[in-house]
Amino acid sequence: MTAALLDTFGRVATDLRVSLTDKCNLRCTYCMPAEGLPWLPSAELLTDDEIVRLVGVAVSLGVRTVRLTGGEPLIRPGLPGLVARLADLAELSLTTNGLGLTRLAQPLADAGLRRVNVSLDSLRADRFLALTRRDRLDEVIAGMAAAAAAGLTPVKVNTVLMRGVNDDEAGELLEWCLERGYELRFIEQMPLDPQHAWDRSSMVTADEVLERLTARHTLTPVERGSAPAEVWLVDGGPARVGVVGSVSRPFCGACDRIRLTADGQLRNCLFAREESDLRTALRAGATDAELAVRMQAAVRAKKAGHGIDDPDFLQPDRPMSAIGG
């Protein structure tokens, strides 16, 4: 058997997203209700030792990059210690809402973290409050500056545009990022909300985003590879901007990603409806070789793509906050 995470479409998984918690300290309207969600039982959450072990098995099968996600990963206790152990295994990045970065950016960089993506959907305090139900915009902005100062560069900014909500800020957000040397990514809103209320018409498509940006700047495409974002040089570069058109410009054909949830389930796709339970096997005494076989089986079962355009498309039961970006 090949020692790789190979699916039946010839794609090889080399990028592992690890959700460290399903909890978060924001309540973004498209991700979580104001009261939060029923959290995963703490007894089912992977310990640091279990995460390091499972990442080690994945690395033995060819995983080279690991992205830490949540919920909000920065709220996990002892995070710098876990990062130091994982940084010995793979190239590490992290996706965060930015709260806590002023305190943690330097310790995480010292521990081996390489890059951060910070979510920010508005530069207007009132709108940030309406979108996240928390009045903490200044902390997010200060967190980005702390990440840049700690050398977690280029700081990448993830923005979800919603029609009639914040889509009038596309240009403003780009100017703001260009002034600070941050790399902005616009991400199409995906059907992963806990309310299952996603509506394609409220999604701002990649084409629409590009239309707005090219009204202000000259964009030159950059080679893509398997990365989710299509990237362009802005006005000849070196500044860049990206668009992740998951829905209108799917990139599943070159997908190299798999996901490990905070409760130890392996997902072969963001939109997978089946999961492979690694936690129970691990706690029942499975060897690394047995865990590897489970991982390979899960990847072999990966579908061609997310199927959002299929008439029988069903949104995953697990919400985005418990899958991770």
Binding residue for ligand SF4 (CB under 6 A) from 257, 282, 319, 325?
A: 257
Q: State the DSSP code for 203.
A: B
Stretch that binds ligand SF4, among 71-79, 130-138, 251-259, 315-323 (CB under 6 A): 251-259
> In terms of CB distance, is 56 or 305 closer to ligand SF4?
305
Among 46, 252, 262, 282, binds ligand SF4 (CB under 6 A): 252
258 - beta bridge partners?
16
Token readout for 312 is 């029988």
Nearer to ligand SF4, 30 or 182 (CB): 30
Residue 219 DSSP SS3 = strand
Question: For the chain, how many helices (H) and strands (E)?
Answer: 9, 12
Which tokens hold the place of 231? 């990237």
Does 5 bind ligand SF4 (CB under 6 A)? Our answer is: no
Question: Given the complex with ligand SF4, which of 146 and 231 has the nearer CB atom?
Answer: 231
Return all residues near 62 (Cβ < 8 A) that are at least 6 apart: 3, 4, 5, 12, 13, 14
Taking the least distance from each CB to ligand SF4, the nearer of 17 and 240 is 17
271 binds ligand SF4 (CB under 6 A): yes
At position 171, the amino acid (one-letter code) is G
Q: Is 122 left (phi over 0), alpha (psi -120 to 50) or beta?
A: beta
- Using CB under 6 A as the binding rule, the residues of this chain from 167 to 206 that contact ligand SF4 are none
> Least separation, in Å, of the C-beta of 303 and ligand SF4?
7
Q: What is the spatial distance between Cα 111 and Cα 293, in angstroms, rounded to a whole number?
A: 31
Cis peptide bond N-terminal to 238, omega within 30:
yes
76 binds ligand SF4 (CB under 6 A): no
Among 107, 248, 251, 315, binds ligand SF4 (CB under 6 A): 251
Footprint of ligand SF4 on residues 25-44 (CB under 6 A)? none
CB 116 within 8 A of CB 91: no
Measured CA to CA, the distance from residue 285 to residue 291 in angstroms comes to 10
Give the residue with the Cβ less far from ligand SF4, 168 or 313.
313
Q: Which of 270, 278, 292, 298 binds ligand SF4 (CB under 6 A)?
A: 270
255 binds ligand SF4 (CB under 6 A): yes
CB nearer ligand SF4, residue 110 or residue 309 = 309
**Tokens 């959907």 sit on residue:** 121
Is 89 one of the binding residues for ligand SF4 (CB under 6 A)? no
3-state DSSP helix/strand/coil % of the chain, to nearest 5:
35, 20, 50
Number of residues that bind ligand SF4 (CB under 6 A): 9
Distances (CA, A) of 154 to 161, 213, 291: 22, 20, 35
Contact segment (CB under 6 A) with ligand SF4 among 80-88, 134-142, 206-214, 248-256 equals 248-256
Q: Using the structure block, give the residue that is written with the tokens 């492979």.
A: 276
Between the CA atoms of 310, 315, 320 and 321, what dihedral angle is there, to the nearest 10 degrees? 180
Q: Which is nearer to ligand SF4, 56 or 250 (CB)?
A: 250
Q: Which of 24, 269 has the CB closer to ligand SF4?
A: 269
Window 293 to 312, contacts with ligand SF4 (CB under 6 A)? 305-306
Min CB(258)–ligand SF4 separation in Å: 8
- Other residues' Cβ atoms within 10 Å of the Cβ of residue 42: 8
Closer to ligand SF4 by CB, 46 or 270: give it.
Answer: 270
CA-CA-CA-CA dihedral for 256, 144, 188, 227, to nearest 10: -20
Applying CB under 6 A, the residues found at the interface with ligand SF4 are 251-252, 255, 257, 269-271, 305-306
